[in-house]
Chain A
Amino acid sequence: MNQEAKRGRLKIFLGYAAGVGKTYRMLVEGQALQREGVDVVIGYFEPHERKDTMTLAAAFEIVPRRVLEYRGVRFEEMDTEAILRRHPALCLVDEFAHTNVPGSARTKRWEDVQVLLTAGIDVFTTMNVQHLESLNDQVWQISGVRVRETVPDWVVAQADEVVMVDLTTRALLNRLQRGVIYEPAKARAALSNFFRESTLGALRELALRQTAHEVEARQKHGSEAAAVSGIVPNVTGARDRILIYISAEPSAAMVIRRGWRVANYLHAECHAVAVQPDGAAEGGRARAAERQAIERHLAFARSLRVETHTLVARDPARALVAFARQHQITQLFLARTRHRLFARDWAARVVSLAPDIQVTIMAERRR
């Protein structure tokens, strides 16, 4: 029989910090399934020297990690190929957002997980809300930490289930102080840093809201809960169409994330457009750098599965507005430009050129 493997199911245990109990919960649920006779293995597990989780993990077969050498240092990564050969029904994979060492077959662990799912293996995995790409700016604003290891939102959206692993911030801080999460020196550093009560509280709120959003998004039928909790349908019935303007400035990444997020929440179509200056080949080094930055931002937008377009024009504001009109865009997202003395404000010009379109001008989040 020539049958394609049915895609595996993905379940994400979502938390808001190290030590809330994501791994523990994943192992407990894995164990319950194992007792029911499901073939479960650990594909990757980070013990963090925590007693409870280590005891639990001992109940499972662990697929040995692959050892890689990079610049003379040994690294251990999940051995995806070995797991494929072993082909369990369910594979437990810790730290979904992890970045593999250079030289690995894939850059990110979530890409390894995609391979397992495609092969028909179910996967349980763990991640913190701060690793979600579209929340990167909000997390930075809350914590002062720019999280580098991120997971694109569409990957999380594809998960069959997202479960919140909740723990109150006080309980988490108690655990940290008792030395359950980190050794004493690291715990002290963590307490004065990421693990401030206010930071943790905000991250926890973010995780609760994100889980609620994931739950709602998986709701197939019209939502009665929405009706009672006050969700109002778009009165006009028309679907929103959002256009993100991509510039060469670093703020472009923020506009992309936030525009994408709004589109996602409004169930709107999302496009992004960049305007390259007229006369593609000419221009000095500054122009080339600008062009490269724009290309980088376009690639980032595509990684979030936003449809991108590039225009060539001498007057970007006019080109942008014309494009928006042609594509029946209902909302434009742009960043305010950095202050230039005597320069006419770019955003104000777009607003005056497009009095018929909603324009959102985004300010960098500040700390």
Chain B
Amino acid sequence: MASRPDPEQLLRQAQAEERYARRGRLKIFLGYTARVGKSYRMLDEGRRRAARGEDVVVGALQQSYSAEIEAILAHLEVIPMRIIDATPVVDVEALLARRPHCCLIDGLANSNPPGSRHRERWQDAEELLDAGISVIASINLQFIAERRAAVESIIGQARGGPAVPEEFVRSADEIEVVDAPPEAAAAPDNVRQLTELREIALLLAADVVDQQLAAYLRRHGIEQSWGAHERILLCLGDAPADAMIASGQRNAARFHGELLAVHVAPPRQKASATVLRNIELAQQAGAELVTIEATDFVRPVLELARERGATQIFLGHARLRRRWQPWRRGALYRLIRQAEGIDIRIFPAETSVSLES
């Protein structure tokens, strides 16, 4: 299991840890639309931290705020923004000189005019983080670059304008969702659109939490299956499996889970046309493919399932019929006995007719 650590890798890891230790901490408040209260939550957290003695300043504000937020701002030190081409820009130099422990940046997805230190506001935040200043920022899902296509197809119009790379959002040490149902006053069509955006924001946050959790468990050497996330493992074989693969795709999508596919074959065996087709279908369905060379099928599948935290194993009936060995318990029997904590789903054998469709 544990291979000898590679010195190069250890060095890189140590360097990464050192960089991380020097870097400021990033916390992001994520909302699915304007007016759900991101700015309020962010500034309120700043106020509470300042009240507990943390050195907090405000580095970026929006144009106007409600009276409620203005009341919070009265308790906070604000580093005035620079005005370039009539556009307010984060004064990175002033912040670096002031060196607070924590800086609040509202409206992370703003572009800076030409002649500014960075093109985008999130890059200003990045520089502060690199200088060891922690940043608390707010962002609207609609301004995450990788989510833009989805957002535009939902609201039915191209938005253009600034965007923050999702990688930056995912790099946050903490991400908090600011959730609220769409305002009751909104038009029904708007409610539908906003509801879809809301779902995407919640799932994005869940993904980030999942990723952080996996990293945490790895760092602490804890082997724990947390099971908050469905992971389906498809066992591909030498029989048509169109329905099984489609079902895997549908289940993974409905549960917003992950799809994996494994093909186990004896060494140096040439893959048949059916096998190749199954592999292609699984990849089209979005499955990550793992190929294992082995003569036995049960053990490698279960090992992979445990390693990857699979919650369900899908396999075809055909898989169970071949190479029946009367002196051993059947493959299914062994799978069921040994699959601790994993569901086994067996699919009916499919006829080859589906090959043509």
Contact = CB atoms under 8 A, between A and B. Distances in A.
B154 A208 contact: no
Interface string B212-245: 1100110010101111110000000000000000
B226 A205 contact: yes
Interface stretch (A185-193, A295-303, A359-367): A359-367
A341 to B, nearest CB: 13
B246 interface: yes
A6 interface: no
Interface string A118-150: 000000000000000000001001100000000
Contacts of A142: 226-228
Interface in B161-183: 173-181
A164 interface: yes
Nearest to A255: B343
A310 interface: no
A351 interface: yes
Interface stretch (A79-87, A91-99, A107-115, A226-234): A226-234
> Which of B173, B247, B342: most chain A CB closer than 10 A?
B247
A266 interface: yes
Given A224-B153, A355-B317, A209 B346 contact: no
B116 interface: no
A65 interface: no
B55 interface: no
Contacts of B200: 225, 229
Interface in A320-341: 331, 336, 339
Contacts of A232: 246, 249-250, 253
A157 interface: no
Contacts of A363: 336, 339-344
Interface in B62-120: none
B192 A361 contact: no
A229 B202 CA distance: 13
A205 B210 contact: yes
A357 interface: yes
B217 A351 contact: no
Nearest to B250: A232
A78 B330 CA distance: 57
Given A228-B153, A232-B250, A351-B332, A163 B181 contact: yes
B294 interface: no
Q: How large is the interface on B (under 10, 10 to 19, 20 to 34, 35 or more residues)?
A: 35 or more
Nearest to A357: B348
B79 to A, nearest CB: 24
Interface in A244-265: 258, 262, 265
Nearest to A228: B150
A168 B251 contact: no
B47 interface: no
A211 B202 contact: yes
Contacts of A203: 228
Given A198-B226, A360-B344, A208 B205 contact: yes
A218 B312 CA distance: 27
> Which of B320, B330, B332: most chain A CB closer than 10 A?
B332
Given A219-B192, A228-B149, A205 B209 contact: yes
Contacts of B154: 224-225, 228
Contacts of B344: 360-361, 363
Interface string A195-218: 001100111111011011001101
A104 interface: no
Contacts of A307: none
Contact of A230 (B198, B202, B253, B341): B253
A167 interface: yes
B199 A198 contact: no
A49 interface: no
A319 interface: no
B195 A218 contact: yes
Given A208-B205, A211-B202, A363-B343, A231 B181 contact: no
A212 B206 contact: yes
A282 interface: no
A262 B345 CA distance: 12
A348 interface: yes
B136 to A, nearest CB: 11
Nearest to B342: A363
A147 B257 CA distance: 25
B203 interface: yes
B349 interface: yes
Interface string B285-316: 01000000000000000000000000010000
A347 interface: yes
Contacts of B256: 209, 212, 229
Contacts of B180: 163
Nearest to B335: A361
Given A163-B179, A212-B206, A358 B345 contact: yes
Given A347-B336, A358-B348, A361-B345, 7 more contacts: A138-B228, A166-B177, A201-B216, A215-B199, A262-B251, A351-B332, A355-B348
6 contacts: A201-B216, A208-B206, A209-B202, A225-B150, A235-B250, A361-B346
Question: Can you list the 9 inter-chain pairs with the closest CB atoms, starting with the nearest?
Answer: A225-B196, A202-B226, A208-B206, A212-B202, A168-B174, A228-B150, A201-B213, A205-B228, A164-B179
Interface of B: 27, 149-150, 153-154, 173-181, 192, 195-200, 202-203, 205-206, 209-210, 212-213, 216-217, 220, 222, 224-229, 246-247, 249-251, 253-256, 286, 312, 317, 320, 330, 332-333, 336-337, 339-349
